Amino acid sequence: MIHVFIVDDHKMVIEGMQLLLKDEPGIKVVGTALSGEAALQLIPTVKTDVVLLDINMPEMNGIETCKHLLKEFPNLKVIAISMHKESSLIKLMLSSGAKGYVLKNAGQEEVIDAIKIVHGGAMYLDDTVNAIVVNSVANGSKQRVESPFPTLSKREKEILLLILEECTTQEIADTLFISFGTVETHRRNMLIKTGARNTAGLVRIALEYELHKK
């Protein structure tokens, strides 16, 4: 029996995964968590073989959660479940110890295959993710070598510059004529891309790698 734990900040995604795995022989969902912090508390309380881990979560993102989990439980198998397709983000998750990467639009058979293959000791990348990684290696640029992070979008760089100028979220929203929520969404995406736990970490990484200039 493969004991699976699901971590995602959306209840609908968790319920969908549970339904998808419900009748699969040899696989049992033993627990769920809506955040990285909750996962770190709950996973030690149940027998877990494979963790299906979302990347884009508030506070502690999937990359940070993966690192903490594997530091405490090095034999745990982690599969990233995400909508992100950027090669640098995929590589960042894999370099953090994840043994699989599956897009959220994957079908039932693909998710089940990923769980069984990773549990068996091999790595699993779905066809789309594998093609992205292969193309990234084949077309590697100087930028990818210098920085391990995905390239920020134009809007993200605009927001990052204002964060570096110590503007508040509301001030950034007013300056760029966008909503408060939109600023927070972009901020969260930058945390995900860089693996930073908070805005202070984002600022440190941005200055170190000059992300606002690239």
Residues 85 and 161 in one domain: no
Classify residue 150 by its DSSP letter. Answer: P
Residues 197 and 121 in one domain: no
> Could you tell me the CATH number of the domain that includes residue 102?
3.40.50.2300
Residues 10 and 73 in one domain: yes
Kindly report the backbone phi and psi dihedral angles of residue 192, in degrees, each rounded to the nearest multiple of 5, phi listed first: -65, -45
Q: Nearest-CA neighbor of 93 among 118, 73, 60, 67? A: 67
Q: Nearest-CA neighbor of 147 among 212, 211, 67? A: 211
Classify residue 43 by its DSSP letter. Answer: G
Q: Other C-beta atoms within 10 Å of 194: how many?
A: 25
Choose between 30 and 206: higher pLDDT: 30
> Could you tell me the CATH number of the domain that includes residue 169?
1.10.10.10
Q: Which one of 138, 168, 200 terminates a domain? A: 138
Burial class from Cβ neighbours inside 10 Å (0-12, 13-18, 19+) for residue 75 reads exposed
Residues 6+ apart with CB under 8 A from 37: 59, 60
Average pLDDT of 154-159? 92
Residues 109 and 154 in one domain: no
Distance in angstroms (rounded) separating the CA atoms of residues 40 and 62: 11
Which domain covers residue 183, as residue numbers?
145-213
**In the block, which residue shows the tokens 């884009």?**
56
Residues 86 and 166 in one domain: no
Residues 176 and 119 in one domain: no
Report the SS3 class of residue 145.
Answer: helix
Residues 18 and 75 in one domain: yes
Q: Other C-beta atoms within 10 Å of 152: how many?
A: 20
pLDDT score for 38: 94
What's the predicted TM-score (pTM) here?
Answer: 0.70
Q: Nearest-CA neighbor of 4 among 72, 53, 37, 40? A: 53
pLDDT score for 214: 64
Token representation of residue 214: 């690239």
Q: Output the average pLDDT for the chain.
A: 86
Residues 129 and 157 in one domain: no
Total count of domains within the chain: 2
pLDDT in tens, 54-82: 988 877 888 889 999 999 999 999 999 98
Residues 101 and 184 in one domain: no
Residues 133 and 175 in one domain: no
The rounded percent of the chain whose pLDDT value lies above 90 is 55
pLDDT over 90 (residue 28): yes
Choose between 67 and 137: higher pLDDT: 67
Residues 14 and 107 in one domain: yes
pLDDT score for 145: 40
Kindly report the backbone phi and psi dihedral angles of residue 7, in degrees, each rounded to the nearest multiple of 5, phi listed first: -125, 115
pLDDT score for 27: 95
Residues 93 and 70 in one domain: yes
The rounded percent of the chain whose pLDDT value lies above 70 is 93
